[in-house]
Amino acid sequence: MALAIFDLDNTLLNGDSDYLWGRFLAKEGIVDGEVYERENQRFYDEYKRGTLDIYEFLAFSLNPLSQHSNEKLGQLHEKFMQESILPIITPASRQLIQKHQESGDQLMIITATNRFITAPIARELNIPVLLATEPEIQDGCYTGQVAGTPCFREGKVERLHEWLKDTGENLANSWFYSDSHNDLPLLEMVTHPVAVDPDDTLTDHATSKGWDMISLRGEKVIPFKK
């Protein structure tokens, strides 16, 4: 049984769930729309450039979780799923997931986006293992802080190594699908690295390495063409 690992945002999703959550909160009047949209866009641009300070971003993005009850957050997320997430899960993504399921592979999502946002998405995609950035919880409530190592860049490698040690699994014949150059540390580790609708930096790297490149933006999985 091989391990098939998927990045989430802009890979299985045709968009970024963390960014969209911020926009959703602004639309719902939960945060100051003008200020939040400006900062949300700044962090997203820094992520794409590879200059994101993950701790600065998490202090910003996790704070709204500490301002509301779990019941209210659950209601917001249910609406967010319907309005913002389900429309950006493409048939091709579901097809790729099904292919690995039918092969008997162990499926995993590994994402920098926090578990509050991503756990319901992983359930919707029927992917049982989720490694995500963990929001700190005390007395059953979110504190607005991060717990442990953020699941970002080299942090994804660290978190995956911890999971492999805990479960006794290994990376023999493993797969990793990602769109971003931020995931190069993990892409270099697996047997089958696959660039999915890759950014320019990852496109150049994947081309030089002879890695497979695919698109999941449509009705079926197709070779990626820039």
Q: Are 117 and 18 in contact (CB under 8 A)?
A: yes
Report helix, strand or coil for 165.
helix
Q: What is the rounded CA–CA span in Å between residue 132 and residue 125? A: 15
* CA–CA dist 150, 9 (Å, integer): 16
7 is catalytic: yes
DSSP 8-class letter at 89: B
Q: How far apart are CA 20 and CA 23, in angstroms?
A: 5
Of 7, 16, 179, 183, which residue is the catalytic one? Answer: 7
In this structure, the number of other CB atoms found within 10 A of the CB of residue 45 comes to 11
The residue assigned the tokens 């992520």 is 47
Catalytic annotation, residues? 7, 9
